[in-house]
Structure 1
Amino acid sequence: MQPVFRFAPSPNGYLHLGHAYSALLNNSLAMAFNGIWLLRIEDIDTTRCRPAFEQALYEDLAWLGLTWPAPVLRQSRELGVYRAALARLDAMGLLYPCAASRQDIAAALARREAGGAASWPRDPDGAPRHPGLVDKLSHTEAEAFTSRGEPVAWRLDMGKALATIAANDSPLVWTRFTAEGELSTVVAQAARWGDVVLARKDIGTSYHLSVVVDDARQGVTHVVRGKDLEAATDVHCLLQRLLGLPTPAYLHHDLIQDSGGEKLAKSRGSTALRELRAGGLTAADIWERLGFAPCPD
C-alpha cells in the first residue's frame, strides 16, 4: 500500500511559517516514504473561514513550490458524510444532546467553585471536563429545543464509549512514527477528555469527527501535524475504533515559535507568508530557514 500523507489547513487566516513547516515536512516525508501527500481544506467553521483566505492558501503553497493531486476535498461540501457518521454513533447509544453554551458552562463552574468545591477537572485543552457541570438532555428534550429554533450540540458519552471498546479486550492504542521510520506504541488516554462535542450547534459536526472520517475516506496512512494536536489523538483513536475505521500512524512535530517563545498563530497575528514574500524573501529562503533541503526549481 502506498503511504498517503495530508496537509489540512483551515482557511480562517493567512498561512504563516508554522503552516509552511508542516506542509514542507509532509511533502518531504511523503517523498522519503515513496508516498503521496494530499491537500485538504478544513473549512467547516463557516463563521471564520473565508474564500479569500482559501485562495491565498493555494497561492502560498504554490509559491513554496508544492503541488498536490486534484480535486481538493473541502469539508464544507461533505457535511452529509459527517451527519451519517454521527447517526451511527447515536444509533449505538453513545451520544447525548447538550444545550449549554460555553457561557453556561463557565457560569456553572464559577458557582461550584464559589461554593468552596474542589477544582473541577479540565481536558488537555484547558476546558472544563464533562459530564457533571450541566444537565444532559434527552432526545425528546433536544427536539423541543430545536423546534423553538434553539440548536443543540451533541456530545460523546465517554463512559459508554470506553465501555463499548473495552468489551473486545483490545487496548486503545495508536502508533507513533519518526522521520527515520521508527515505530512505537502509545496508549490513548481518551478518558481525560470527558464528554467531547462531536457536533457543534452551528455546524452539525466538529474537528474531531470530520478529521477522523476524512482521513479514512482519503486512505491517509500517516498523519503529520503539530504537537499541539497530539493529545487530540486520544479522541481520534477512540472514534476510529467505534466507527470501524483504520488508525493512521502519527508524527507530532515541534511548533515554530516567535522571538518570545510563543507558537505562531493566526489569532496572534503572526507574520504571514505573503508578508514575508512581499518583504523580499524567496521560497528558497523559507525552505532554508525551516531546515529543509534547497527548494527545487
Structure 2
Amino acid sequence: MYPLPIEKWKPANRWFYKASLPLALLVWLLPLLAVMMTSVRSNDDLMQGNYWGWPTKIAAFENYRAVLVESPMLHYFWNSCLITFPSVVGAIMLSAMAGFALATYPFKGNTAILATFVGGNFVPVQILMIPVRDLTLRMGLFNTVEGLILFHVAFQTGFCTLFLRNFIKELPYELVEAARVEGATEWQLFYKIIIPLITPALAALAILVFTFIWNDYFWALCLTQGDDAAPLTVGVSALKGQWTTAWNLVSAGSLLAALPSVLMFFAMQRHFIAGLTFGATKG
C-alpha cells in the first residue's frame, strides 16, 4: 500500500539511489549554472563560441551595471512591484472572504459556485487571450498597470478561493457557532477568529501567488505594448537586440528578475511550510 522506506531497500538499490541523486541534482542545476556563468562572461567570449568553458574574463560588474544602469531594467522592476503587490493583496482579500462564505454558509448554489471556481482553474489561459485583450481595449485598460492588476486579481481569485475554502472547512465549526452565540457579528467572526486561524495558509498562498504574478510573461506580453506598463519578464526579453542578442546581458537580467521570488521564498519559508502542513494532523 505504502512505499517501502529507503532503509529497508536492498543494499544494491540503496547504493544506486544515493549515487543517482547527485547526478540528478547536477542535471537539474545545469541550466541555472549555465545562465549564471553566461551572466559573467564578456561579449568577446560569446562571439568566440566559449559557451561552456571557463570565462577568459570575468565581466560580472560590466554586465550587471549595463543591465541596471544602461537599460530601463529598474523601470521594469518598479512596474513589476506596482503590479504584483496590489494583485497579491487583492486576490488574497477577495478569496479569503469568498472562501469563508463557501465554507461556512450552506446557501443554495454553494456547490455550483464552488464548481465554477474549480472549473475555472482548468481553462487554458491561451483561450482567453483574444477576449481579454479586446476587453482591456474597450475598457481603456490596455497597456496600463491597473489593467494588469485587475486581470491578475480576477485570474488568481479562483485558485485562491478553492485553496482557502478547503482550509477553512477543516476548522472546527464549533468555533464559529460559539462566536455567534457570544454575539459576534459576521465581520468580527471573520476578522478576529477565522483570519488568525488561517494565517499560515494565507502566508503560503501569498508566496505562491507572488511567484505566479511576478514571473508572469503571457499576460504581460498580451496586455502591454512598449515600456510604459511592461514588467520585468517583458523587460528581460527586450534586452535582445534587433540583429544580435547579448546573451550575457539577458542572463544577468534573468537572474535579477528571479531574485525577488527566491528571496521571498526563503524569507517566508517557515510560514510556507506551516501553511502547506496546516491541517495535516489532528489532535
Higher RCO by CA contacts (8 Å cutoff, separation 6 or greater): 2
Q: TM-score range by the shorter chain?
A: under 0.3
TM-score normalised according to structure 2 size: 0.23
Higher helix share: 2
Structure with greater strand percent: 1
TM normalised by structure 1 equals 0.23
